[in-house]
Amino acid sequence: MQEPDIGTCALTARGWISAGLVGAAVVAAGLYVTRPVPLAANTLDGLTGDATAGAIVFAASGCASCHLAPGVDSGPAPALPGGRKFASPFGTFVAPNISQDTEAGIGGWTDVQIASAVLRGVGAGGEHLYPAFPYTSYGKADLQDVVNLIAYLRTLPADPTPSQPHELAFPFNVRASLGGWKLLFDRSDWVVTGDLTDQQQRGRYLVEALGHCAECHTPRNALGGLDRDRWLSGAPNPSGPGRIPNITSGNLTWSEGEIAEYLSSGFTPEFDTAGGSMAEVVKNTAQLTDADRAAIAAYLKIVPAVTNP
């Protein structure tokens, strides 16, 4: 029997070791590049929050729609213990407690930590947050609006209800992978661009940033990223049958005044009423000013038309 060539075995072993080291270096570099990056500690220096203005940001952002307890209606000072479940192709996400409880909620978080969650999708522990929390939209928000929102959240009651874990299977339960997802899909540029009026720019801000309308009205790719080429063209309803409608300019035939009225009262031009999750949205937009609802309508009328097959 031929004896093994010790020199060849040694070279093979060294090759495997070298390959392993290169692979480890690539993984380490990838984890570094995609690591959670919170806001700098001095980001909010010089800014003072206005809770009254923050209440409008709270409404425009739809915070209560997700973070109220299931079956509870929003009141003048809502507790936000979370617990609502949101089904997705990747598993079920559960809204966390964002009340002022220092143990169960975010009462012990600093303002910068809350702002980092809203704008960067980074939790107080330095971990990636799942984009079921729409920080990919909120990331475009004005920093003063975020500070105002935080000031308003500080006025709300504490609730000791513990947050429930998300119901996710491997590999979607690996938070480190979210860094790569953010690298691909977390973009800070506006979708609708061009020579917009001040009113249209305000509407764009309310729709693309605070209102995060695209999170429901835009289809997603296989990895859950928004298909920006089909912006606001409608999407499957993740909570049941039916489809979330196309609201691009080519499909939304209502006038600007009719859109604004719908966002105020929930009544359509056909004398129907908003239902399902849109009823929750109207509760929020009804709290905005007439000017803001008109701005949303003006923006929607310039969104490029998309025709679905």
16 pLDDT more than 60: no
Predicted pLDDT of residue 250: 86
Q: How many CA atoms lie within 13 A of 244 on its CB side?
A: 23
What is the C-alpha to C-alpha distance for residues 121 and 205, in angstroms, rounded to an integer? 19
Predicted pLDDT of residue 176: 92
pTM value?
0.89
Question: What CATH number was assigned to the domain covering residues 198-300?
Answer: 1.10.760
For range 273-285, the mean pLDDT = 91
What is the C-alpha to C-alpha distance for residues 174 and 177, in angstroms, rounded to an integer? 6
Apex 109 CA angle, 136 and 148, nearest 5: 60
Percent of the chain with pLDDT over 90: 78
Q: How confident is the model at residue 26 (pLDDT cuts 50, 70, 90)?
A: very low
The tokens for 37 are 């990056």
Of the candidate ranges 120-134, 155-169, 229-243, the one whose mean pLDDT is the lowest: 229-243
Strand pairing of 235-236 and 167-168? unpaired
What is the C-alpha to C-alpha distance for residues 239 and 236, in angstroms, rounded to an integer? 9
The tokens for 49 are 């929050």
Q: 233-263, pLDDT tens digit by residue?
A: 999 987 777 789 999 998 999 999 999 999 9
Each domain of the chain, given as residue ranges in start order, spans: 51-185, 198-300
